[in-house]
């Protein structure tokens, strides 16, 4: 989808559908932009009683297609707000789009309201050549940020994964115009829209990978996707390790998980050296990323149920998010150094599969007793995090569809956030809030370390049954980052959506891409990396 900006005097003639943002309030809905900026024939505000009869309150994401004249509120004594007569709807139509409470239309919450509102408008329009949505600027942010949020919501709502469908595909909206009242804002809104669309493209890349059938997206194919997407672009170098190199590099966790599969494992290492690097205190900030890449998880010998396997192609969502973030970082000119690692394998119950009771030795020499082969993500991440720590970054962030316990604790829409560096954890939380990807910090208490104590090895790969599963998994991961500040996102819930809602489409969500982009393109985060390089 193409998203552009235009002021009232430059709207293309013949634009068929207009979206008008409406805010909710105690006294009823009100337009979120002055309708007088555009010649739409609307009253200064819609009649609250009329809106109530039509079930429209201005709640975020509500839409109402106008098919009849809209009355203004009845005039009160001394009221000068406009006519009380019915106002004709200019053909062919207007869609009222709810943006939520006007008092809350600010900061991060306002940006998320815009994403959801623009997504709702795109879904209401359906298809066609073009439509225009009047841009409601978030009160305390630059209009470019508002435009970026609106563009992200619109483009992601337009996403479809149709690679394996036969027959005609649903019509889609080709172009969205963001209408702004002041001609002086057009440039900033256009730049914000361009950035938003580019971010959405990287999210769509991650979604496509998660949605790809697992027998098609093997570890080799996913590694090749990293190469095809990133190699040759300014600042980016990609290295792929085969199974022999993986063995030479002593990645015992990755090798152990891969044993049961006929598909060989891969380890992808990506280096981003920014062409226009920011230098703080004499050096370039350096972030390491690690993404779990289990292209299909059967559970290994600790076999999942048939129902439990239905969505296990999603288990490479962390690696997909890292690829999407690198794609966007290079396109948007991120100015910090990034080193990324993606351990890729299947987890299958073949004749050579790792058995419960086996002990694996990870890259950093620590040993892990495997008591449940379905707790495999932490085994491959042990190697990925060890490599990340060896790269001597200022901080490490990993993403993984790691534990069902995170879904039990936080549901399907919120990721768990844990880590060993308070400043880095807070930066990730703040970036996720700005991006509209909800996370919730969980504790990482030392007292729970005995949950993963092993009788024969340095640790075991599962904690106590029914207790703090996400925390015990993170405590294991913490053994492999050394003293490097580290944040861990358990995205087991939000990596996949069970329905078409807001700007999500059923299937892979690309969760984490937008949060990482917020991080790596933030000047404040760059300063934090340099100034806070100890836990």
For the question of residue 2 being annotated catalytic, the response is no
Mean pLDDT of all residues in 364-388: 98
Q: What is the phi/psi pair of residue 256, to 5°?
A: -65, -45
Residue 167 banded pLDDT, cuts 50, 70, 90: confident
Residues of the chain with CATH 3.40.630.10: 212-531
Say what percent of the chain tops pLDDT 70.
Answer: 94
Which segments of the chain belong to CATH 3.40.220.10? 2-197
Closest CA to 29 of 97, 114, 112: 97
DSSP state of 305: P
Q: Place 46 in a pLDDT band, splitting at 50, 70 and 90.
A: confident
Q: Are 332 and 195 in contact (CB under 8 A)?
A: yes
Q: Is the pLDDT of residue 88 over 60?
A: no
**pLDDT attached to residue 111:** 97
Judged on CB neighbours under 10 Å (0-12, 13-18, 19+), 344 is: buried
Burial zone of 356 (CB within 10 Å; 0-12 exposed, 13-18 middle, 19+ buried): middle
pLDDT at position 72 is 56
CA distances (Å), 178 to each of 183, 377, 473, in order? 12, 43, 45
Q: What angle do CA 63, 65, 66 make, to 5 degrees?
A: 130
> Which region among 49-58, 269-278, 507-516, 522-531 has the lowest average model confidence (pLDDT)?
49-58
Judged by DSSP in three states, 124 sits in: helix
The third-level CATH classification (topology) of the domain covering 2-197 is 3.40.220
Give the dihedral of Cα atoms 98, 100, 101, 105; nearest 10 deg.
Answer: -110
pLDDT at residue 142 tops 80:
yes
> What 8-state DSSP symbol labels residue 241?
E
pLDDT, position 85: 39
Smallest CA-to-CA distance from 23 within 132, 88, 96 is with 96
pLDDT band at residue 109 under the 50/70/90 scheme: very high
Per-residue pLDDT, 8? 79
- Neighbouring CB atoms inside 10 A of 261's CB total 22
Q: Are 167 and 173 in contact (CB under 8 A)?
A: no
Residues 341, 389 contacting (CB under 8 angstroms): no
List of E strands, 451-501: 459-460, 486-490, 496-497
Q: What is the pLDDT of residue 151?
A: 98
Residue 102: its pLDDT value, please?
Answer: 87
What is the distance between the alpha carbons of residues 272 and 341, in angstroms, rounded to a whole number? 12
Mean pLDDT of 111-124: 97
Taking all residues of the chain, what is their mean pLDDT, rounded to a whole number? 92
Res 90 pLDDT > 60: no
Classify domain 212-531 at the CATH topology level.
Answer: Aminopeptidase (3.40.630)
pLDDT confidence of residue 116: 98
Let me know if 506 is a catalytic residue.
no
With a cut of 90, say whether residue 330 has pLDDT above it: yes
- Residue 327 structure tokens: 């794609």
Question: Is 534's pLDDT higher than 50?
Answer: no
pLDDT value for 70:
55
Exactly one of 221, 304, 412, 527 is catalytic; which is it?
A: 304
From the candidates 292, 378, 429, 434, give the one annotated as an active-site residue: 378
Contact, 293 vs 342, CB < 8 A? yes
Which residue's structure tokens are 């995170």?
406
Q: Given pLDDT bands bounded at 50, 70 and 90, which one contains residue 66?
A: confident
Judge whether residue 18 has pLDDT over 50.
yes
For the residues 476-490, what does the mean pLDDT come to? 98
Q: Is 285 in a helix, a strand, or coil?
A: coil
Looking at per-residue pLDDT, the higher value among 164 and 270 belongs to 270
Query: Residue 106: CA atoms inside 13 Å, Cβ hemisphere, count?
Result: 5
Helix/strand/coil for 101: strand
The pLDDT assigned to 67 comes to 64
What band does 33 get if pLDDT is binned at 50, 70 and 90? confident
Answer whether 423's CB lies under 8 Å from 343's CB: no
Question: What's the pLDDT score for residue 140?
Answer: 84
pLDDT of residue 84: 39
* Overall average pLDDT of the 342-359 stretch: 98
pLDDT in tens, 150-163: 999 999 999 999 98
Distance CA 292, CA 257 (A): 12
Contact 487, 396 (CB under 8 A): yes
Find, among 526, 272, 326, the residue nearest to 424 by Cα: 526
Q: Is the pLDDT of residue 435 over 90?
A: yes
| Residue 76 scores a pLDDT above 60 | no
> Residues 503, 157: contact at Cβ < 8 Å?
yes
């Amino acid at each position: 989808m193409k998203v552009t900006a235009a002021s009232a005097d430059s709207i293309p003639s013949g634009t068929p559908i207009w979206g008008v943002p409406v805010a909710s309030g105690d006294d009823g809905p009100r337009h979120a932009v002055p309708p007088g900026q555009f010649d739409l024939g609307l009253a200064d505000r819609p009649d609250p009683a009329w809106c109530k009869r039509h079930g429209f309150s201005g709640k975020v994401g509500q839409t109402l297609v106008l098919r009849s004249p809209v009355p203004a509120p009845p005039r009160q004594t001394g009221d000068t707000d406009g006519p009380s007569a019915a106002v004709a709807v200019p053909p062919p139509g207007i869609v009222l789009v709810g943006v939520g409470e006007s008092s809350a239309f600010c900061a991060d919450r306002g940006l998320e309201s815009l994403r959801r509102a623009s997504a709702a408008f795109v879904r209401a329009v359906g298809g066609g050549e073009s439509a225009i949505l009047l841009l409601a600027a978030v009160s305390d942010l630059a209009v470019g940020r508002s435009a970026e949020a609106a563009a992200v919501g619109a483009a992601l709502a337009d996403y479809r994964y149709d690679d394996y469908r036969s027959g005609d595909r649903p019509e889609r909206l080709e172009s969205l115009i963001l209408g702004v009242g002041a001609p002086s804002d057009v440039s900033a809104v256009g730049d914000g829209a361009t950035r938003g669309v580019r971010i959405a493209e990287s999210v769509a890349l991650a979604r496509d990978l998660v949605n790809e059938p697992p027998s098609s997206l093997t570890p080799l194919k996913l590694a090749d996707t990293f190469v095809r997407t990133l190699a040759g672009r300014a600042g980016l170098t990609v290295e792929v390790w085969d199974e022999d190199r993986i063995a030479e590099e002593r990645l015992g966790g990755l090798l152990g998980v891969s044993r049961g599969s006929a598909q060989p494992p891969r380890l992808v290492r990506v280096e981003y050296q920014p062409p226009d690097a920011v230098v703080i205190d004499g050096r370039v900030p350096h972030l390491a990323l690690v993404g779990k890449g289990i292209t299909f998880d059967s559970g290994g010998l600790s076999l999942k149920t048939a129902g439990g396997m239905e969505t296990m192609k999603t288990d490479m969502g962390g690696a997909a998010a890292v690829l999407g973030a690198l794609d966007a970082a290079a396109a948007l000119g991120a100015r910090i150094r990034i080193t990324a690692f993606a351990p890729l394998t299947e987890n299958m119950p073949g004749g050579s599969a790792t058995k419960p009771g086996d002990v694996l030795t990870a890259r950093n020499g620590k040993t892990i007793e495997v008591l449940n082969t379905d707790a495999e993500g932490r085994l491959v991440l042990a190697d990925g995090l060890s490599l990340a720590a060896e790269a001597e970054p200022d901080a490490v962030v990993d993403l993984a569809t790691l534990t069902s316990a995170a879904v039990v604790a936080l549901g399907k829409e919120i990721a768990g956030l844990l880590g060993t560096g308070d400043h880095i954890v807070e930066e990730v939380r703040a970036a996720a809030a700005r991006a509209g990807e909800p996370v919730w910090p969980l504790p990482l208490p030392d007292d729970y370390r005995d949950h993963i104590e092993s009788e024969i090895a340095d640790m075991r790969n599962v904690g106590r049954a029914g207790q703090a599963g996400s925390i015990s998994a993170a405590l294991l991961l913490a053994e492999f980052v050394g003293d490097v500040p580290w944040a861990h996102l358990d995205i087991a819930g939000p990596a996949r959506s069970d329905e078409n809602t807001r700007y999500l489409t059923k299937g892979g969500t690309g969760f984490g891409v937008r949060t990482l982009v917020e991080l790596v393109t933030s000047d404040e985060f760059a300063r934090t990396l340099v100034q806070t390089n100890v836990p």
